[in-house]
A and B are shown apart, each in its own frame.
Chain A
Amino acid sequence: MNERVVAYQLGIFVTQWALMILGFGILTRIVAPLRLVALNLPFGSYFDASVKALVALALSAIWLFVWDRQVRFYFYRRRT
Chain B
Amino acid sequence: MDETWTLTVRAFTILTTDNPSFSVLLFYSRLGSMPGMASLDWDTIAILVALGAFPVSLALTRFFMYWNSAHGIVGIDVHKLARPKIPEMCGAAVPVTLILFAVIYCLMAGENWIPFTAYSLVVGLTAVVGAVDDRLKLRGIFKPLLTLFCGLPLLILGLEFPGQVYDPTLRVPLFGGYHLHIIYPLTILIVISVTSNTVNMLDPLNGSMSGGISIVSGGLLIGLLLTGGSSSSIFLYASLLFSLLGFFYYNRFPSRAFSGNVGQLSIGASLGALAILGKTEIASIVAMFPNIQNSFFFLSRIRRFTEHRELKARPTRLLEDGRLASSEEPAAPLTLVRTLVAGRPAKEEEIVSDIWGLFLASTTLAVITLFLMGVML
Residues of A bordering B, CB below 8 Å? 1-2, 5-6, 9-10, 12-14, 16-17, 20-21, 24-25, 27-29, 32, 45-46, 49, 52-53, 64, 67-68, 71, 75-76, 79-80
Contacts and interface: CB of A to CB of B under 8 A. Distances in A.
23 contacts: A1-B353, A1-B357, A2-B340, A2-B341, A5-B344, A6-B340, A9-B361, A13-B358, A13-B365, A16-B289, A17-B365, A20-B286, A21-B369, A25-B172, A28-B172, A28-B175, A29-B176, A45-B182, A68-B300, A71-B339, A75-B343, A76-B342, A79-B330
Given A6-B354, A67-B296, A13 B344 contact: no
A46 B182 contact: yes
B176 A17 contact: no
B49 interface: no
Interface residues of B, number: 38
Interface string B331-372: 000100001111110100010011001100110010001001
B178 A20 contact: no
Given A24-B172, A28-B176, A71-B293, A17 B354 contact: no
B344 A28 contact: no
B14 interface: no
A24 B296 contact: no
A60 to B, nearest CB: 10
B285 interface: yes
B26 interface: no
Contact of A10 (B293, B300, B361): B361
A51 B177 CA distance: 18
B48 interface: no
Nearest to B286: A17
Contacts of B372: 21
B323 to A, nearest CB: 12
Interface string B164-180: 00000000111111101
Contacts of B339: 5, 9, 71, 75
Interface in B249-291: 282, 285-286, 289
Given A10-B361, A32-B178, A71-B334, A5 B297 contact: no
A22 to B, nearest CB: 9
A15 to B, nearest CB: 11
B290 to A, nearest CB: 8
A36 to B, nearest CB: 13
B1 interface: no
Contacts of A80: 330
B183 interface: yes
Given A5-B339, A5-B354, A13-B289, A21 B173 contact: yes
A21 B283 CA distance: 10
Given A17-B286, A21-B369, A76-B334, A67 B175 contact: no
Nearest to B300: A68
Given A1-B357, A9-B358, 12 more contacts: A2-B341, A12-B293, A21-B172, A21-B369, A24-B173, A24-B175, A28-B176, A28-B177, A29-B175, A52-B183, A53-B183, A68-B300
Contacts of B354: 1-2, 5-6
A1 B334 CA distance: 20
Interface string B282-313: 10011001000100110010000000000000
B220 to A, nearest CB: 15
Contacts of A49: 180, 182-183
B313 to A, nearest CB: 13
Contacts of A46: 182
A5 B342 contact: yes
B286 to A, nearest CB: 6
A49 B186 CA distance: 11
Contact of B340 (A5, A20, A28): A5
Contacts of B369: 17, 21
A1 B350 contact: yes
A28 B174 CA distance: 10
A2 B350 contact: yes
B350 A24 contact: no
Contacts of B334: 71, 75-76
